[in-house]
Amino acid sequence: MFSVKESGTPIVPVAAPARRMLALLTAFADQVVPTAVVVQELWPEGPPAHALDMVETYVRQQRDLIDTALRAGREETGTDPRPLPRAARDVLVSLPGGYRLDTGGGSSDVSVFHRAVGAGYRAMELEDLETAAERLGQALALWTADAYTEVAAGPQLRAHITRLEQSRVQALDQWIEAQLRLGRRRELYAGLPGILARFSGPQPTYEGLLAELAHGPDPVHVLEDCKRLLRGTRRQRREPAAGRVRTALRTARPVGLERPRPARTALVIGGASG
């Protein structure tokens, strides 16, 4: 789900090109996105004759949505009707050669994800596995689907989505390693299906790991099968492989397992809140 809000009010346009433009601006929030990049994103096979005029139309429409959201936010708080301290042009800023989506200090699930992942990686380096598992788990919980769903992505946005997905898989690798090194096989077996359900496609390495964990408390059987499985599936994957999992598996303590129940969440990845 792609969601962007200003003052608590959704500002995602209905029209597909305008939605794609907003998605591009959120991907590079608080940065100047050149007009040429916007045009390429909207028309990767070549722009129409009046492409710049069309971009300006989308910008005006987006500002109308932002202005409505700003006014709704002020009415909700019951503040006086004097001019708004932050206008639509201050949120979607026109600059020489490009545009900038100014979040005004707002947050996004993407930035929260990166902060949590960074904290988890630092904790792993310090061998603070409890903190690492907690922060990486928080980062992964932000994902309920692939990034920027409901948006027909162009070349720039597709590249951004690829980087996000790589970060997601790396965080999952580290979370698995932390859980196994802590001996939390039960928690891993219970939590992994919910995480995998949020990927749009199959994840054979992790699904295979889950199947091996389900074999029971025989440590030799489970660990040897997992190591063989990960060696085989790693050759078939383009994503960063879960190589460190093998080391963690060698030191994991066996724990009895129960059938997991998939988690249900409704959080958003890929949106910015103003």
> Which pLDDT belongs to residue 83?
59
> Which pLDDT belongs to residue 254?
33
Q: Which DSSP string do the residues of 220-258 spell out, in sequence order?
A: HHHHHHHHHHHHHHHTT--SPP-HHHHHHHHHPPP----
- Give the global pTM: 0.74
Cα separation, 58 vs 77, whole angstroms: 29
Instruction: Report yes or no: 24 and 16 within 8 Å, Cβ to Cβ.
Output: no
Is residue 183 pLDDT above 80, yes or no? yes
User: Per-residue confidence at 149, pLDDT binned at 50, 70, 90?
Assistant: confident
Average pLDDT over residues 231-257: 42
SS (H, E, C) 152-174: CCCHHHHHHHHHHHHHHHHHHHH
User: Per-residue confidence at 62, pLDDT binned at 50, 70, 90?
Assistant: very high
> Which pLDDT belongs to residue 223?
45
Cα separation, 180 vs 235, whole angstroms: 23
Is residue 268 pLDDT above 70, yes or no? no
Residue among 202, 131, 141 nearest 168 (CA): 141
Instruction: Report yes or no: 209 and 230 within 8 Å, Cβ to Cβ.
Output: yes
Rg (CA), the chain: 22
Termini Cα distance of the chain:
17
The secondary structure element, H or E, covering residue 9 is strand 9-10
pLDDT in tens, 219-232: 445 445 554 554 55
pLDDT in tens, 15-56: 999 999 999 999 999 999 999 999 999 999 999 999 999 999
Q: What is the dihedral of CA 176, 178, 180, 185, to 10 degrees?
A: -70
